[in-house]
Amino acid sequence: MAINAAKGVGAQGAGTARPMTPEERKVIFASSLGTVFEWYDFYLYGSLAAIIAKQFFSGLDAGSAFIFALLAFAAGFIVRPFGALVFGRLGDMIGRKYTFLVTILIMGVSTFIVGILPNYAAIGVAAPVILIVLRMLQGLALGGEYGGAATYVAEHAPHGKRGAYTAWIQTTATIGLFLSLIVILGVRTTVGEEAFQDWGWRIPFLVSLVLLGISVWIRMQLSESPAFQKMKAEGKVSKAPLSEAFGQWKNLKVVILALVGLTAGQAVVWYTGQFYALFFLTQQLKVDAVTANLMIAAALLLGTPFFVVFGTLSDKIGRKPIIMMGCVLAVVTYFPAFKMLTEAANPALAAAQAANKVVIVADPAECSFQFNPTGTTKFTSSCDVAKQALSNRSVSYESEVAPAGTPAVIKIGSHTIPSYSLKGLSPDELKAKGAEFNKAVSETLKNDGYPEKADPAKMNKVMMIVILFYLVLLVTMVYGPIAAILVEMFPTRIRYTSMSLPYHIGNGWFGGLLPTMSFAIVAQTGNMYNGLWYPIIIAGATAVIGTLFLRETKDVDIYAED
């Protein structure tokens, strides 16, 4: 019976497009809902990065603590390709269903433990170490989740509808992020900001245990994919999917092309539009966390249906042109879009930057790289002191070269503030000098129009949502058709393994490292827009490589003999 059913679906898959059956609706709903919960678990950390920096990295200075928290966030992404290898192999050998049932168990339990983990003040350095281990477990689980869900849905979809069907899986990452933002806002509003900063932030992590129970129950109701059943019945299941997928050049070259000509660019556009935009609002534009989350949530709510729109459109005009156009638009419009976001979210800051530019004039030889992940590096030169003063206030600045040996100065509009070196000063002298210098910097910035925080009354919230919606729209262009094209690029017997690795290298490494890399660039250069060069360069490279070498796949018959 199972064999005949599988063959029936396979035969139909090669035919004309047909309406969605009740069974297919169930498959899409169950796969998508479980994946939503998994993304919810994964993105809680990113949404609460600023609080987690204070809770688990309080031994570092504020700037390094936030960047190190982002590195811990990135740790979950770094291990995702390894999860793709482990669970992709299992998925191609024993089946799609049971493999991504295991992944959701690992994800849910790891997230729950974050919610009960003691902080740095309680157990010291063990706290961030355990946190990073849990993030890595989450990354391993997610590395096996996406490929399984996308492959499972695609192998149930009829020919001519794979873009539309798999686009529902593409909505899950955004809906998961949206759900995490809503839960965070709900808890934040209920317990109050002070309590949320202290202990309330743990509640969204603890809620994941309930979502885990629902997800496991849902996935237990599913049957194996018809394509895998057919392949298993015919004795064609791969006995060594890793060596087949990556040990044979004919498949490995497709994996490499999928990475550099597809998923790398897709990933940086995704993370710029949904995560970097959130961090940019809170860290650079000084928008309060509640307002920033509400703006992002509104943009996600408006943009999410377009995953299905572009997925469906890709069934008609092709996957490639939509994805490449999304990358090109990102390259061309990111700088003007983020500058418009500054004017809408913090017009006082935009006006101050235009009227009273901030410049550090210093000898380059005494300027250190402004990143201290271990807390052991001492920034002692006059250049470092000046950079730290502006970085701690999230003030964007430019640099000018001073003659060798000249002490650094900060120019704010027409005002000049001499910096100082920490070397040779007694503790009392350091305290007095630091207080005098910081007072001068703060008062000058204030007098020249630089706000300490964005004023909610002066925000153009409609324009903020429009700009953020545009950034999400680019996300939907590159992400809506991605599952369909990846499934169509590889044969059934090694599909789970082959598509998972380039997807998770692209999204785990190129995308997951984006906030860390971009903010490190900003910390070093001082210009708050320079972090955009990271996604622009990668998206541009993908657009060129994908346009020249990627073939269209929308008419591929995934049920054909491998």
DSSP secondary structure, 259-295, as one string: IIIIIHHHHHHHHIIIIIHHHIIIIIS---HHHHHHH
For 240-275, the pLDDT digits (tens) are 677 776 778 888 999 999 999 999 999 999 989 988
Q: How far apart are the first and last CA of the chain?
A: 23
Q: What is the pLDDT of residue 235?
A: 66
Q: Does this model's pTM top 0.95? A: no
Q: 379-425 pLDDT, tens per residue?
A: 788 998 998 888 878 888 999 999 998 999 999 999 999 999 988 88
Q: Which residues of the chain fall below pLDDT 70?
A: 1-21, 23-24, 34, 38, 42, 59-64, 67, 95-97, 222-240, 245, 370-378, 559-562
CA torsion through residues 478, 132, 210, 295, sign: negative
Cα Rg of the chain (Å, integer): 25
CA distance 92 to 103: 15
CB-CB contact of 142 with 503 (8 Å): no
Quick one: pLDDT at residue 96?
65
User: CB-based contacts of 302: which residues, under 8 Å, 6+ apart?
Assistant: 465, 469, 472
Give the separation between CA 12 and CA 32, rounded to whole angstroms.
23
- CATH of 351-447, picked from 3.40.30, 3.90.1010, 1.25.40, 2.60.120, is 3.40.30
pLDDT at 293: 84
pLDDT at 478 (0 to 100): 96
Each domain of the chain, given as residue ranges in start order, spans 21-346+456-549, 351-447
Q: Partners of 411 in the beta sheet?
A: 359, 416
Distance CA 89, CA 243 (A): 10
The count of other CB atoms within 10 Å of the CB of residue 62 is 15
pLDDT of residue 20: 62
What pLDDT, on the 0 to 100 scale, is given for residue 444?
A: 94
Q: Tokens in use for 417?
A: 């503030």
Residues present in the chain in total: 562
Contact 494, 242 (CB under 8 A): no
- Sign, Cα dihedral of 114, 116, 119, 122: negative
Q: Reduce the DSSP state of residue 491 to 3 states and report it.
A: coil
Sign of the dihedral defined by the CA atoms of residues 56, 59, 65, 69, in that order: negative
Q: How many CA atoms lie within 13 A of 289 on its CB side?
A: 19
The residues pairing with 360 across neighbouring beta strands, listed in sequence order, are 399, 410
Torsions phi, psi of 512, nearest 5?
-65, -30
Phi, then psi, of 474 in degrees rounded to 5: -60, -40
Rounded CA separation 413/391 (Å): 18
pLDDT of residue 466: 97
CB 178 within 8 A of CB 300: yes
> Do 274 and 296 contact (CB within 8 A), yes or no?
yes
Task: For residues 440 and 444, give the distance between their C-alpha atoms in angstroms, rounded to a whole number.
Answer: 6
Q: What is the pairing mode between strands 409-412 and 415-418?
A: antiparallel
pLDDT recorded at residue 217: 83
Domain spanning 21-346+456-549: CATH superfamily = MFS general substrate transporter like domains (1.20.1250.20)
